[in-house]
Amino acid sequence: MKRTRSLCFGGQLSMNCQLMVSRDQLQTLVLPDLAVCRRGFFLPKGTASNQFDLVVIGGGSGGLACAKEASTFGKKVAILDYVKPSVHGSSWGLGGTCVNVGCIPKKLMHQSALIGQAIRDAKSFGWDVAAESKVSFNWDNLRVNVQKHIRSLNWGYRVQMNENSVTYLNAYGSFVDANTIKTVDKANKERIITSKDIVIATGLRPKYPEIEGAEEGISSDDIFSLPRPPAKTLVVGGSYVGLECAGFLSGLGYPVTLMMRSIPLRGFDQQMAHFVTDNLIVHGTDILWRCKPKKIVKNGTKLQVEWEDEVGKSNSDLFDTVLWAIGREPRLSDLNLDAVGVKCDSKSGRILVNEKDQTTVSNIYAIGDIQHGRVELTPVAIKAGKLLARRLYSNSQLLMNYDNIPTTVFTPVEYSCVGLSEELAVEKFGANEIEVYHASFKPLEFIPPQRVRERCYLKVICTQTEPQHVLGLHYIGPNAGEIMQGFSVSLKCKLTIPQLLNSVGIHPTCAEEFVKLNITKRSGKDAVVTDKVSAVFEGKYGGRL
């Protein structure tokens, strides 16, 4: 056997550093179908058999969670994952949208923008920043480090699949029948595999508008690996993706214009959504309201964008980058779902499922963003994937609860919420049957740098009748996600207003404003939380205590 420096997973080193492997592990080593991956680890491409207990189509968060969980019950599992490159050729490894072109790179770039804000605030906190004008941002450094982290996560998922004996196939999959999948790898090599159960977890991809020159624009599939600084950027779309990208690009110092055809953050509380856009403007983003793009023309290295405003007037401007953030859509045509009878919603194109995440074919399931009418969030897909595997292979009856899912929009001033929006609460219970406690506040850390224009606000929506069960919590301010996570647990535990207001806050924090709430919208009283210290900085009391 050829000597190598590589270690096999499961092998052990003896005291004299000799590699000790079992007979079974040795047999695995000498199989002809091995691939030597970077960093010296062996990863099996597959097994001799093409029969599985579970095949998962899609290597994103939900698919990986389901495959890994099923393997812990001794099931033979395969996972298929092949990323079709974007219009601009962007592709990535195992892990899906969140890891590669979503949550992870977005949060890192958001954090970079927050660090820029901290540098601007530093002098007021005593730091000597006389050379602040020489502080510069380097897009390539950020991009390279973000991509390094993503590749490490891609590798980690490959390792996890191997350690859990999950067969990983870097290939497309399409149905032959309800138990049979044809796979095609990048070399166009076909393979037929069969499985008792099949899970579809293919996720969504960004939409492109049907206008001339749309292909000149990029999407969230491309921005995090863009090989050049984005420079002057037009972001099109009022989704959370659009607002987040506009926010961190502005925070990194680029001129950004955000164009929206209708309302921002559709599906979110609209009062909070407009506070988010107000804060985007404060942080330097220009907003074009009720406008829609008509055409893009390449003009040297620039993009000439023509758009129409709400009264039908044509406008144009030059941009270095156009980023489409107008929504996401399924790409299911290659799966051959019609051949097996899996039904999709006629409007959204997403797969129809029941409360057990089961499609219209009894042994075929769907999880994650590809489901019709479900919350499109990574933690939801992960939880749903694990619960599905437990129902299939460990006699569990526990269903995924899609109610009261917390989420955060990582704009310069973050927005987080859980439960009902005010609009949905009114629709469900009636305006006279709900109460809204609210407060507008200034975080302590905003006071020394006199960040007086940013709007931080929170509200709690509850039933009008005792014991005033909480229906939804909303917060705009620093560290929104960190604050909302704990409150989301309390909402699951049937939180009431007396319980909330009888809690002791942690001082000084933004989170304590929740337990200090005492003003309702119905009262008409001013909800601004002020104290004499912050008021001095805002010019009240003649600038003195």
Contact 484, 408 (CB under 8 A): yes
Instruction: Give the sign of the dihedral formed by CA 148, CA 151, CA 157, CA 161.
Output: negative
Q: Tell whether 146 is in a known binding site.
A: no
372, 438, 469, 507: which one is catalytic?
A: 507
* 3-state DSSP of 36-76: ECHHHCEEECCCCCCEEEEEEECCCHHHHHHHHHHHCCCCC
Residue 492 assigned as binding residue: no
Nearest to 110 by CA among 248, 211, 228, 16: 248
Distance (Å, rounded) from C-alpha 78 to C-alpha 47?
Answer: 10
SS3 content of the chain, % helix, strand, coil (to 5): 35, 25, 40
CA distances from 157 to 63, 83, 387 (A): 11, 15, 20
Checking phi first, is residue 535 left (phi over 0); if not, alpha (psi -120 to 50) or beta?
A: alpha
Q: What is the DSSP string of 103-147?
A: HHHHHHHHHHHHHHHHHHHGGGGT---TTGGG----HHHHHHHHH
Q: Is 392 annotated as a binding residue?
A: no
Rg of the chain over CA atoms, in angstroms?
A: 26
- How far apart CA 497 and CA 402 sit, in angstroms, is 23
Where does residue 104 fall: left (phi above 0), alpha (psi -120 to 50 degrees), or beta otherwise?
alpha
Is residue 107 marked as binding? Answer: yes
Residue 507 a catalytic site member: yes
Give the C-alpha distances (Å, rounded to integers) separating 163 from 33, 109, 157, 230, 274: 17, 32, 10, 40, 47
Q: Is 156 labeled as ligand-binding?
A: no
- Counting Cβ atoms within 10 Å, is residue 251 exposed (0-12), middle (13-18) or buried (19+)? buried
237 is in an annotated binding site: yes
Q: CA 322, 417, 445 angle in degrees (round to 5)?
A: 85
Annotated binding residue at 36?
no
Both structure tokens of 187: 């070399």
Q: What Å distances lie between residue 361 and 55, 183, 356, CA to CA?
A: 15, 20, 12
d(CA 99, CA 147): 10
369 is in an annotated binding site: yes
In angstroms, the first-to-last Cα distance of the chain is: 82
Q: Which amino acid is at 183?
A: T
Q: 96 among the known binding-site residues?
A: no
C-alpha–C-alpha distance, residues 248 and 262, integer Å: 22
Consult the annotation and say whether 349 binds a ligand. Answer: no
Q: Which residues are annotated as a binding site?
A: 107, 173, 237-244, 327, 369
**Residue positions forming the annotated binding site for FAD:** 107, 173, 369
**Could you tell me which residues are annotated as the binding site for NAD(+)?**
237-244, 327
> What are the catalytic residues?
507
